[in-house]
Amino acid sequence: MATNQAAAGKVAIVTGGGSGIGKAAALALLGAGWRVAVAGRRADVLHQVAEQAPGQALAVPTDITDPASVEALFAATVKAFGRVDLLFNNAGIGLPAAPLEDMAVADWKRVVDTNLNGMFYGIQNAFRTMKAQQPMGGRIINNGSISAYAPRPHSIAYTATKHAVSGLTKSASLDGRRYNIAVGQIDIGNAMTDLAARMAKGVPQANGEIAVEPLMDAKIVGDSILYMANLPLEANVLFHTVMATKMPFVGRG
């Protein structure tokens, strides 16, 4: 892979890096010369990504809902690469659309544990690592969602946790100033991944209709992450929205 002088020696952690948005981000970073620890639950897909950049990528099976597992991820990355300059806090889940009154409490807790608690564990360990390293500092990019601004029908668990992610981003951005840690968020609309493939078949709209929605290449999101990651720490993209141009968002429903 071609390297970028500005990224030489820089180290990233990408959670949920074995597929979808995480994989696109990991490949974009690797292609620009970053060293990347690719984290997620499925070791097989993590190794498939890491094998595309031998010696430059590290596959680290991780359960982001387990604080000890997240701590081990950061320890493994520092052991392999010496530091952490970027966390792309990407891993998250949703549920099939269903009326909120029918939702199982266990499903609610599973989404909260992944999308909110897991993201906090990543931020916490990034702070601990970045404030202790020399030179001090780094960048955290949280994966939010357009759903935090304009939710879809029957998505209360996902939407609530993505609202909470925006709170994590703002609070961590404030707390990170003293440690030279820049914290921002990317909100993504309809990138072509396995999870979003249903959009091409038609999904419920706010007015009750079923409509096919446009999609964009996930590589575009990877390029957006790379842009945010390569900024000098004196600058930060606090909120960045990248979306399929013709998807229903502005004026949704």
User: Maximum distance among all alpha carbons in the chain?
Assistant: 55
Per annotation, catalytic residue among 121, 149, 158, 227: 158
Active-site annotation holds for 149: no
Structure tokens at 191: 């990138």
The closest alpha carbon to 59, from 13, 121, 126, 114, belongs to 13
The closest alpha carbon to 234, from 192, 191, 177, belongs to 177
| Non-local CB neighbours of 7 within 8 Å, separated by 6+ positions | 29, 32, 33, 34, 230
Catalytic residues: 158
